[in-house]
Amino acid sequence: MGLLSVPQHRLEKMERQLIWGAFVVLLYLLIIGLKALGIIDQYTTNNLVLAGIYVILGVSLNLINGFTGQFSIGHAGFMSIGAYFGAIATVKFGLPFALALLMGGLVAALAGMLIGLPTLRLRGDYLAIATLGFGEIIRVVFLNWEYVGGARGFSVPRLTNFTWVYVIAVLTVVIIRNWVQSAHGRACIAVREDEVAASAMGINTTLYKVIAFSVGAAFAGIAGALYAHYFFLIAPHSFGFLRSVEVLIIVVLGGLGSISGSVIAAILLTGLSMLLANWPYPRLIIYSLTLIGIMIYRPGGLMGMREIALPISFIKKKGEERQLGAS
């Protein structure tokens, strides 16, 4: 009786969630099993970890650029803040890894809020220039900060593993997806579609832009802390302008406003770089030609604004069979 009293759309939503949850768990178990059997070697594991970090970065930047309609190209700056402050937490203060991730995310979110308040009143190219300048300022600060090694870099113990990256990547997708589908997310989308109309409807556009900027920065900071604790050594040049461009390419390639697109693009580009690793110079040409071809034939990105969804007809058919069986 309890199931029969639940509306059909809620049953469909619950079934979607259960199927996606089962898929996520089975995929994790498959990868762990292949690693245990030696089929996935350390080099492939490194690329899987890097792909997971890029998923976090791409999805978080999509919240800013895709769903809120801003043009930020300083995501590497927030990543570097999370990387350095997360490393300070473990190396200098001996805090647990989980707290280091939290610290990296919170400091990056605070930086996002402080930068967002004065700059998000700008639009378009002016905002892009401001965020680019912020990223370069952060890089120069760490370059001259001897407490974290300056230009020599900062040695960090390896505390990140595939499980940490996988779980946090899944949580990032779930949290940002739920945010986008909430009333706050719809307000951000309204700002993207027409900021003047959204303001006329009573939406505090500056507030929602700052919130989106801070949330995206927080996840970028967590990604930076994961990166720092996996690759042993971090240096300011690791978080330069090209890193921001890489994340921006993931968002544009996957589709502005598509979380699924950002996930697919992050995995695709990391896999392409891995397959072409033995051809360092031709790799850059093939990589560029691939991106140009996709932009020509799919200017809206791989997914556009669409998301990967389970077939409704399959779920409805299961619901009808269950109702017939109960009757």
Q: What is the mean pLDDT of residues 236-253?
A: 88
Q: Say whether pLDDT at 324 is over 50.
A: no
More confident call, 250 vs 278: 250
The pLDDT, as a whole number, for residue 7 is 66
pLDDT in tens, 53-78: 999 999 999 999 999 888 888 899 99
DSSP string, 166-200: HHHHHHHHHHHHHHHHSHHHHHHHHHHH-HHHHHH
> Of 106, 105, 107, 87, whose CA–CA distance to 97 is shortest?
87
Same-domain pairing of 79 and 198: yes
Q: Say whether pLDDT at 286 is over 60.
A: yes
Which residue among 194, 216, 241 closes a domain?
A: 241
pLDDT in tens, 148-172: 988 888 999 999 999 999 999 999 9
Phi, psi at 234, each rounded to 5°: -115, 145
The pLDDT, as a whole number, for residue 1 is 45
Radius of gyration of the chain (CA): 21
Region of 150 (left: φ > 0; alpha: ψ -120 to 50; beta: rest) is left
Distance of CA 96 to the CA centre of its chain: 23
> Does any domain span residue 169?
yes
> Does any domain span residue 16?
yes
> Of 116, 40, 12, whose CA–CA distance to 72 is shortest?
116
Same-domain pairing of 188 and 231: yes
> Does any domain span residue 249?
no
Percent of the chain clearing pLDDT 90 (strictly above): 50
Q: Are strands 233-234 and 154-155 parallel, antiparallel or unpaired?
A: antiparallel
> Does any domain span residue 292?
no
Same-domain pairing of 101 and 222: yes
Q: Say whether pLDDT at 325 is over 60.
A: no
> Does any domain span residue 287?
no
Same-domain pairing of 23 and 70: no
Same-domain pairing of 145 and 11: no
Q: Say whether pLDDT at 80 is over 50.
A: yes
> Does any domain span residue 235?
yes
Same-domain pairing of 56 and 131: yes
- What domain range is 166 assigned to? 47-241
Same-domain pairing of 26 and 108: no
pLDDT in tens, 106-124: 999 999 998 888 877 777 7
Q: What is the mean pLDDT of residues 282-305?
A: 78
In the chain, how many domains are there? 2
> Does any domain span residue 274?
no
Same-domain pairing of 183 and 87: yes
Same-domain pairing of 57 and 34: no
Same-domain pairing of 18 and 67: no
Same-domain pairing of 65 and 6: no
Which residue among 241, 264, 288 closes a domain?
A: 241
Q: Say whether pLDDT at 314 is over 50.
A: no
Which residue among 199, 214, 241 closes a domain?
A: 241
Same-domain pairing of 33 and 76: no
> Does any domain span residue 107?
yes
Confidence of residue 247 (pLDDT cuts 50, 70, 90): very high
The token duo for 292 is: 């140009």
**Nearby residues of 243 by Cβ (< 8 Å), 6 or more positions away:** 75, 76, 79
Strands (E), the chain: 154-155, 233-234
